[in-house]
Amino acid sequence: MQESKINIPLLGDTFPEFSASTSHGPMNLPGDLKGQWFVLFSHPADFTPVCTTEFVAFQKRIKAFEDMGVKLIGMSVDQVFSHIKWVEWIEEKLDVEITFPIVAANDTIANKLGMLHPGKGSNTVRAVFVVDPESKVRLVLYYPQEIGRNMDEIVRATKAMMASDANGVAMPAGWPDNELIGEKVIVPPAQSQEEAKKRPDQYECYDWWFCYRDLK
Protein backbone atom coordinates (compact mmCIF):
# COMPACT_ATOMS: atom_id res chain seq x y z
CA MET A 1 0.00 0.00 0.00
CA GLN A 2 1.50 3.32 -1.08
CA GLU A 3 1.51 6.11 1.48
CA SER A 4 0.12 9.46 0.40
CA LYS A 5 2.75 12.16 0.30
CA ILE A 6 2.11 15.46 2.01
CA ASN A 7 3.60 18.41 0.14
CA ILE A 8 4.47 21.14 2.60
CA PRO A 9 6.27 24.21 1.21
CA LEU A 10 9.55 24.75 3.04
CA LEU A 11 10.92 28.08 4.21
CA GLY A 12 12.57 29.80 1.27
CA ASP A 13 10.57 27.87 -1.33
CA THR A 14 8.62 29.75 -3.97
CA PHE A 15 4.96 29.73 -3.00
CA PRO A 16 3.12 27.12 -5.15
CA GLU A 17 1.22 28.62 -8.07
CA PHE A 18 -2.52 28.17 -8.40
CA SER A 19 -5.64 29.85 -9.75
CA ALA A 20 -8.89 29.77 -7.82
CA SER A 21 -12.25 31.37 -7.26
CA THR A 22 -12.59 33.56 -4.19
CA SER A 23 -15.33 35.51 -2.45
CA HIS A 24 -13.88 38.58 -4.21
CA GLY A 25 -13.57 36.98 -7.67
CA PRO A 26 -10.85 34.98 -9.48
CA MET A 27 -7.32 35.12 -8.06
CA ASN A 28 -3.93 33.83 -9.21
CA LEU A 29 -1.36 33.24 -6.50
CA PRO A 30 1.32 34.24 -6.01
CA GLY A 31 1.29 36.10 -9.35
CA ASP A 32 -1.44 38.61 -8.53
CA LEU A 33 0.47 39.68 -5.41
CA LYS A 34 4.00 39.73 -6.81
CA GLY A 35 5.93 42.51 -5.11
CA GLN A 36 3.71 42.45 -2.01
CA TRP A 37 3.73 40.58 1.29
CA PHE A 38 0.70 38.41 1.92
CA VAL A 39 -0.62 36.09 4.60
CA LEU A 40 -2.67 33.10 3.44
CA PHE A 41 -4.43 31.14 6.14
CA SER A 42 -6.59 28.06 5.77
CA HIS A 43 -9.45 26.98 7.99
CA PRO A 44 -11.14 23.55 8.27
CA ALA A 45 -14.67 24.60 7.27
CA ASP A 46 -17.16 27.45 7.03
CA PHE A 47 -19.94 27.67 9.60
CA THR A 48 -17.86 26.16 12.41
CA PRO A 49 -17.37 27.82 15.81
CA VAL A 50 -13.56 27.97 16.09
CA CYS A 51 -13.18 29.17 12.49
CA THR A 52 -15.79 31.86 13.08
CA THR A 53 -13.82 33.18 16.07
CA GLU A 54 -10.67 33.17 13.94
CA PHE A 55 -12.26 35.13 11.10
CA VAL A 56 -13.54 37.76 13.51
CA ALA A 57 -10.09 37.95 15.14
CA PHE A 58 -8.32 38.35 11.77
CA GLN A 59 -10.78 41.04 10.70
CA LYS A 60 -10.27 42.92 13.98
CA ARG A 61 -6.57 43.13 13.07
CA ILE A 62 -7.00 43.95 9.39
CA LYS A 63 -5.73 47.51 9.88
CA ALA A 64 -2.49 46.19 11.38
CA PHE A 65 -1.93 44.10 8.25
CA GLU A 66 -2.94 46.92 5.91
CA ASP A 67 -0.66 49.40 7.69
CA MET A 68 2.25 47.05 6.92
CA GLY A 69 1.12 46.69 3.30
CA VAL A 70 0.25 43.02 3.85
CA LYS A 71 -2.65 41.33 2.05
CA LEU A 72 -4.71 38.90 4.13
CA ILE A 73 -6.37 35.92 2.40
CA GLY A 74 -8.49 33.12 3.84
CA MET A 75 -8.95 29.65 2.36
CA SER A 76 -10.83 26.39 2.75
CA VAL A 77 -12.17 23.66 0.46
CA ASP A 78 -15.71 25.00 0.83
CA GLN A 79 -17.31 26.40 -2.32
CA VAL A 80 -17.54 30.12 -3.00
CA PHE A 81 -21.27 30.30 -2.30
CA SER A 82 -20.60 28.87 1.17
CA HIS A 83 -17.91 31.51 1.81
CA ILE A 84 -20.29 34.28 0.71
CA LYS A 85 -23.14 33.01 2.88
CA TRP A 86 -20.88 32.58 5.91
CA VAL A 87 -19.50 36.11 5.54
CA GLU A 88 -23.07 37.40 5.34
CA TRP A 89 -23.94 35.44 8.51
CA ILE A 90 -20.94 36.88 10.38
CA GLU A 91 -21.92 40.41 9.46
CA GLU A 92 -25.60 39.88 10.29
CA LYS A 93 -25.17 37.98 13.57
CA LEU A 94 -21.84 39.29 14.88
CA ASP A 95 -21.77 42.77 13.33
CA VAL A 96 -18.34 42.19 11.78
CA GLU A 97 -17.77 42.78 8.05
CA ILE A 98 -15.14 40.42 6.60
CA THR A 99 -13.23 42.50 4.06
CA PHE A 100 -10.51 40.05 2.94
CA PRO A 101 -11.04 37.45 0.18
CA ILE A 102 -11.61 33.75 0.90
CA VAL A 103 -10.25 31.21 -1.57
CA ALA A 104 -12.40 28.24 -2.55
CA ALA A 105 -9.65 25.63 -2.78
CA ASN A 106 -9.93 22.23 -4.41
CA ASP A 107 -8.05 19.14 -3.29
CA THR A 108 -5.22 19.85 -5.75
CA ILE A 109 -4.59 23.28 -4.25
CA ALA A 110 -4.93 21.98 -0.71
CA ASN A 111 -2.45 19.19 -1.37
CA LYS A 112 0.07 21.62 -2.87
CA LEU A 113 0.11 23.39 0.47
CA GLY A 114 0.04 20.32 2.70
CA MET A 115 -3.37 21.32 4.03
CA LEU A 116 -5.04 17.91 3.78
CA HIS A 117 -3.60 15.55 6.37
CA PRO A 118 -4.27 11.79 6.62
CA GLY A 119 -6.71 10.96 9.38
CA LYS A 120 -8.33 14.39 9.30
CA GLY A 121 -10.90 13.70 6.60
CA SER A 122 -11.55 16.22 3.83
CA ASN A 123 -11.24 19.33 6.00
CA THR A 124 -8.15 21.50 5.69
CA VAL A 125 -5.92 21.99 8.72
CA ARG A 126 -5.27 25.45 10.17
CA ALA A 127 -2.24 26.50 8.14
CA VAL A 128 -0.65 29.95 7.91
CA PHE A 129 1.77 31.00 5.16
CA VAL A 130 3.57 34.34 5.20
CA VAL A 131 4.94 35.13 1.73
CA ASP A 132 7.32 37.96 0.84
CA PRO A 133 7.39 40.26 -2.24
CA GLU A 134 9.62 37.77 -4.09
CA SER A 135 6.91 35.10 -3.60
CA LYS A 136 9.13 33.21 -1.15
CA VAL A 137 7.59 31.37 1.79
CA ARG A 138 8.98 33.01 4.92
CA LEU A 139 6.88 31.52 7.71
CA VAL A 140 4.72 28.39 7.99
CA LEU A 141 2.48 27.58 10.94
CA TYR A 142 0.22 24.55 11.35
CA TYR A 143 -2.41 24.26 14.04
CA PRO A 144 -4.69 21.28 14.80
CA GLN A 145 -8.38 21.64 14.09
CA GLU A 146 -9.14 21.85 17.80
CA ILE A 147 -6.97 24.92 18.51
CA GLY A 148 -7.65 28.44 17.27
CA ARG A 149 -4.71 30.60 16.25
CA ASN A 150 -3.16 33.62 17.99
CA MET A 151 -3.51 36.39 15.41
CA ASP A 152 -1.39 38.82 17.40
CA GLU A 153 1.56 36.46 16.93
CA ILE A 154 0.98 36.35 13.17
CA VAL A 155 0.94 40.16 13.06
CA ARG A 156 4.06 40.32 15.26
CA ALA A 157 6.02 37.74 13.28
CA THR A 158 5.20 39.40 9.96
CA LYS A 159 6.23 42.81 11.28
CA ALA A 160 9.43 41.30 12.69
CA MET A 161 10.37 39.68 9.37
CA MET A 162 9.80 42.91 7.48
CA ALA A 163 11.91 44.85 9.99
CA SER A 164 14.64 42.21 9.85
CA ASP A 165 14.78 42.38 6.05
CA ALA A 166 14.81 46.17 5.98
CA ASN A 167 17.54 46.56 8.61
CA GLY A 168 19.72 43.46 8.27
CA VAL A 169 19.22 42.45 11.89
CA ALA A 170 17.79 39.54 13.88
CA MET A 171 14.81 39.88 16.17
CA PRO A 172 14.88 38.63 19.78
CA ALA A 173 12.21 36.45 21.36
CA GLY A 174 8.90 38.25 21.80
CA TRP A 175 10.12 41.36 19.96
CA PRO A 176 9.36 44.19 20.54
CA ASP A 177 8.88 43.15 24.18
CA ASN A 178 11.93 41.01 24.86
CA GLU A 179 12.83 40.27 28.49
CA LEU A 180 16.52 41.10 27.99
CA ILE A 181 16.78 43.89 25.43
CA GLY A 182 13.23 45.21 25.11
CA GLU A 183 12.53 46.60 21.65
CA LYS A 184 16.17 46.61 20.55
CA VAL A 185 17.36 44.25 17.81
CA ILE A 186 20.30 41.87 17.50
CA VAL A 187 23.32 42.72 15.39
CA PRO A 188 24.52 39.93 13.04
CA PRO A 189 27.47 37.95 14.47
CA ALA A 190 31.05 39.04 13.83
CA GLN A 191 32.76 37.27 10.95
CA SER A 192 36.38 37.68 12.09
CA GLN A 193 38.45 38.05 15.27
CA GLU A 194 39.23 41.64 14.37
CA GLU A 195 35.57 42.45 13.94
CA ALA A 196 34.72 40.67 17.20
CA LYS A 197 37.17 42.85 19.13
CA LYS A 198 35.50 46.01 17.83
CA ARG A 199 31.95 44.98 18.67
CA PRO A 200 31.82 46.17 22.33
CA ASP A 201 32.91 49.65 21.20
CA GLN A 202 30.30 49.78 18.45
CA TYR A 203 27.19 48.41 20.16
CA GLU A 204 25.67 47.47 23.47
CA CYS A 205 26.82 43.91 24.15
CA TYR A 206 26.58 41.10 26.67
CA ASP A 207 29.62 39.71 24.83
CA TRP A 208 31.03 40.20 21.33
CA TRP A 209 28.70 37.49 19.97
CA PHE A 210 25.58 39.00 21.56
CA CYS A 211 25.35 42.67 20.60
CA TYR A 212 22.24 44.73 20.04
CA ARG A 213 21.08 48.19 18.99
CA ASP A 214 18.03 50.37 18.51
CA LEU A 215 15.92 49.71 15.43
CA LYS A 216 16.43 52.78 13.28
Active-site annotation, residues:
51
Find, among 137, 9, 155, the residue nearest to 72 by Cα: 155
Distance of alpha carbon 102 from alpha carbon 99, whole angstroms: 9
Residues whose CB falls within 8 Å of the CB of residue 62, separated by 6 or more in sequence, listed in order? 72, 99, 100
- φ and ψ at residue 161, rounded to 5 degrees: -65, -40
Find, among 154, 112, 161, the residue nearest to 134 by Cα: 161
Residues whose CB falls within 8 Å of the CB of residue 53, separated by 6 or more in sequence, listed in order? 148
Distance of alpha carbon 38 from alpha carbon 139, whole angstroms: 11
Output the CA angle 148-150-151, nearest 5 degrees. Answer: 115
